[in-house]
Copies of this chain bind each other. A is one copy, B any other.
Amino acid sequence: MKLFSFWRSLATYRVRIALNLKDIVPDEVVDINLLKGQQREATFRAVNPMMAIPALVDGEGPALFESLAIIEYLDEIHPSPPLLPPDARGRARARGLAQIVACDSHPLLVPRVREYLEHELKLDEQTRMAWCRHWITEALAAIESHLKTEKETGRYCHGDAVTVADICLVSQAAGAKFFQVDVAPFPTVNRIVDACQAIDAFARAHPLKQPGAPATG
């Protein structure tokens, strides 16, 4: 397997956690420097036309793309440990929580959007930071509401086993830290993120532990 990655990419962070949980070590990790715009270079555009990471090449055929699609693929080809609950309703809840992060929040903060805010809309840094914090906070509030009120919540987002919901929640928490969001109003989120971070597969995948990351957050 070949993983296209960048230390700061929250979507790649999710895939790294899934790989670690399943004890899969990619043969190669290719750095795509988002801060230098390498995702828009022709060679990478041929790998992923959306010009985004992660992308994962597994054997023949075009690269897999989109973090949640890659995670479900990994879960199907390496079923142990499972990253989805055993029942359809549980899977819907875990996927739904994951998608609050991956559909409703993170897409508003990715480099191409932040660049549009800066270069097309000419917004100053304070306004751009307020934008990022707003969408991170909205999603955290919705997730906190689910987690604190629904009986399916356990040690982790869904029961006492890690699922794709936890993987996404941990990436959301890292985004909250990058953008200095106040997470005090979300105690259930914080409890579950702490429980996940205590797991080696999560801890090793952290953006700040990847090659190229700055020494401090």
Question: Which residues in chain A, 107-128, are within 8 Å of chain B measured between CB atoms?
Answer: 107-108, 112-113, 116, 120-121, 123, 127
Q: Which of B50, B73, B123, B141 contacts A121 (CB 8 A)?
A: B123
Whether A95 contacts B68 in the complex (CB less than 8 A), given A50-B142, A123-B121, comes out as yes
Q: Which residues of B contact A200 (CB under 8 A)?
A: none
Q: How far is the CB of A1 from chain B (nearest CB, A)?
A: 13
Known contacts A50-B142, A91-B76; A99/B68 CB under 8 A:
yes
Are B96 and A69 neighbours in the complex by a CB distance under 8 Å? yes
Please tell me which one of the listed residues B72, B113, B120, B143 contacts residue A95 in the complex, with CB atoms under 8 A apart: B72
Complex interface: stretch among A58-66, A154-162, A186-194, A207-215: A58-66
Copies in the complex: 2
Find chain B residues with CB under 8 A from A150 CB: 62
Judge if A104 is at the interface, Cβ distance under 8 Å.
yes
* Residues of B close to A58: CB separation below 8 A: 89
Q: Is the interface of A mostly helix, strand, loop or mixed?
A: helix
Partner of A103, one of B62, B66, B130: B66
Shortest CB-to-CB span from A111 to chain B, Å, is 12
A198 within 8 A of partner (CB) = no
- Residues of B with C-beta under 8 A to A62: 93, 146, 150
- Cβ of A70 within 8 Å of any chain B Cβ, yes or no, is yes
Distance of A103 Cα from B88 Cα, bound (Å): 22
Question: In chain A between 38 and 61, which residues have their CB closer than 8 angstroms to a CB of chain B?
Answer: 49-52, 58, 61
CB distance A103 to B100 under 8 Å?
Answer: no
A24 lies within 8 A of chain B by Cβ: no
Q: Which of A179-209 contact B (CB under 8 A)?
A: none
Contact string against B for A residues 66-110, beta-carbon threshold 8 Å, 1 for contact and 0 otherwise? 101110110011000000000011011101101110111011100
* 5 pairs, CB–CB < 8 Å, chain A vs chain B: A49-B143, A62-B146, A66-B99, A66-B103, A69-B99
What are the 6 A-B residue pairs with the smallest beta carbon separation, nearest first? A49-B145, A69-B95, A66-B99, A73-B92, A50-B142, A69-B96
Sample of 17 further A-B pairs with CB below 8 A, known A64-B96, A104-B107: A50-B100, A50-B139, A50-B142, A58-B89, A62-B146, A64-B89, A64-B92, A65-B100, A69-B93, A70-B92, A73-B88, A73-B91, A112-B138, A121-B121, A121-B123, A121-B127, A121-B131
